[in-house]
Amino acid sequence: MEILVFGNPLVQKDSLALHLTSQLREKFPAIEFIEFDSAENLEDQGRDLVILDVADGIKKVELIEDLSFLEKSPSYSMHDFDLALTLKLLKKMKKLDSIKIIAIPTSYDLKKAYNETVNVILSLSN
């Protein structure tokens, strides 16, 4: 299994998923965690995606499989496309069969995020 890890290491609120990758690689050596900084090349990653990212508006780590739960942020130029919009476009163009997003609340600390993320990944393995 591959898990695409999104985030911006320069923005604290958006870097939590990236900070988890070294611990997750140790816990799950059979899973390839790929740090992914741009949603524009997602179609090259296959038709079934698993993504790890942070999200606003959630209270615990959640597994999101229905793209309708994702809100689209405002776009003012071509550079403002976000992950949710890109995924919805790929799904509409039939370039994605399934998507699983492990969403971590932006307010979480590293330990709480790690523990809950591990549980979600374990549920994917079953």
Q: Which CATH number belongs to the domain containing residue 72 in this structure?
A: 3.40.50.1450
What pLDDT sits at residue 39?
59
Domain total for the chain?
A: 1
Average pLDDT, the chain: 81
Segments forming the whole domain that contains residue 90: 2-125
Q: Which of 3-7, 9-13, 122-126 has the lowest mean pLDDT?
A: 9-13
Phi, psi dihedral angles at 34 (to 5 degrees): -110, 115
Grade residue 113 by pLDDT with cuts at 50, 70 and 90: very high
* Rounded CA separation 37/61 (Å): 21
* Rounded CA separation 100/125 (Å): 13
Q: DSSP characters for 1-62? A: -EEEE---TTSGGG-HHHHHHHHHHHH-TTSEEEE---GGGGGGG-SEEEEEEEESS-SS-E
- 42 burial (CB, 10 Å; 0-12 / 13-18 / 19+) is buried
Grade residue 98 by pLDDT with cuts at 50, 70 and 90: confident
Over residues 60-80, the pLDDT tens digits come to 999 988 777 665 444 333 333
